[in-house]
Amino acid sequence: MADIKACLFDLDGVIVDTAKYHFLAWRRLCNELGFDLTEEENESLKGISRVESLEILLKLGGVILTQEEKDEWLVKKNDWYLEFVDSMNPDEILPGVVHFLDLLKGAGIKIALGSASKNAMLILKKVELLPYFDAVIDGTKVSKGKPDPQTFTLGAEATGAHPSECVVFEDSQAGVEAGNRGGMYTIGVGDETVLDRAHVVIPGFENQDLKLFNRL
């Protein structure tokens, strides 16, 4: 088994399914700007920042906005998203996640969050997972979004682990690329045809244990 000292987790789609709330909020924004957003198109927004996501959508809809207008729409989108987040509770943790985190804690492996979300702390508190995390690297602490490795290299530093001792859990291509570029092991959570650049791909955390690391 690889000598693993820390595990770094993306938030949306890995620990909780807030991706559905982002989709609903982005779709509302698109509709108000005069075009629609499909679930397939929404896939391209996974793992990247709110600002970058808006730029992608404006190109998709052929809409040109001033910087001031962009800032206003970003605030609106976040407000709509937070309305959903405000009602979150531990029931929204994805299956198997808590058990897996318990196994990591029991093995003395550090746990960090590596997310582009600026609402990560709020979400972790809402679902009562914050005590599990030794470090939280979120959108308030990074200047470069995924696929740049900064999110995860900061996570490794915060846990005191060398990148080669870290495992990144991600559900997006950009996140997997960020982990790979950071010199870490990557485990994709989701569709292996989408996450084929990860070292290992799992459908989710149900029925997973630390033997998973033997596959790295």
By annotation, the residues acting in catalysis are 10, 12
For CA atoms 23, 127, 169, 183, give the dihedral sign: positive
φ/ψ of 82, rounded to 5, equals: -65, -25
Q: How far apart (Å, rounded) are the C-alpha atoms in residues 113 and 171?
A: 13
Which helix (H) or strand (E) covers residue 202, if one does?
A: strand 200-202
Instruction: State the pairing for strand pair 185-189/6-9.
Output: unpaired
CA dihedral 69, 71, 74, 79 (to 10 degrees): -100
φ/ψ of 48, rounded to 5, equals: -115, 165
In terms of DSSP H, where are the helices of 96-172? Answer: 97-106, 120-126, 150-159
Of 203, 175, 177, the C-alpha closest to 190 is 203
Which helix (H) or strand (E) covers residue 59, if one does?
A: helix 50-61
